[in-house]
Amino acid sequence: MFTGIVTDVGEVLVAEDRAAGLRRLTIACAYEAASIAIGASIACSGVCMTAVATGREGKRDTFSVDAAAETLRLTTVGRWRTGTRVNLERSLKMGDELGGHLVSGHVDGLAEIIAREDLTDMARFTLRVPHPLARFIAQKGSVALDGVSLTVNAVTADTFSVLIIPHTLSVTTFAALQVGDQLNLEVDVMARYAARLMEQS
């Protein structure tokens, strides 16, 4: 479980295809490798992944994860290559501050940026979402985009907008995003359960 508060931006150093549709990704990070337990969950641009190895490349600590065929197909992970920058968040511990909202790291789909408006030190993104997911997104509700907890500003049919504040632009991958880019989207779990309850009533 995560909160959507990014604690590091990592860099993919190696993307190696393996048997049975697996791809092993080695990611450089600011976390001490010795502090990452094998089997620990780390959200990588919103995708909950399991650390299978740790190490060091030059002066940088690293961890490795295996991405299965479904993850490669349904998320942006299949496009990651050497040099790709990814938002990182380690899993919650008991007593940690819930600074964003509860995020599982299970991606629901991809949201595509259809407009970017640069403001003073900020940016507003408008995104299109797959139609089946649009009903889970509400004005002033929460979404996770590439692992970042954000508040929805406005909703129109299959689109919504978010405002990215200066701090978020400086500590995530969002500053480099452009129209046409796709982001891993996780809708608010509360919205999903509320919709399910309404279906059953």
Among the listed residues 35, 69, 82, 151, the single catalytic one is 151
Among the listed residues 30, 35, 68, 82, the single catalytic one is 68
Per-residue CA distances from 24 to 7, 78, 83, 191 (Å): 22, 11, 15, 33
**151 classed as catalytic:** yes
Among the listed residues 48, 51, 67, 111, the single catalytic one is 48
**7 classed as catalytic:** no
**41 classed as catalytic:** yes
**29 classed as catalytic:** no
**48 classed as catalytic:** yes
Among the listed residues 50, 82, 156, 170, the single catalytic one is 50
Among the listed residues 106, 131, 156, 195, the single catalytic one is 106
**68 classed as catalytic:** yes
Among the listed residues 3, 26, 29, 41, the single catalytic one is 41
Cite the active site residues: 2, 41, 48, 50, 68, 106, 151
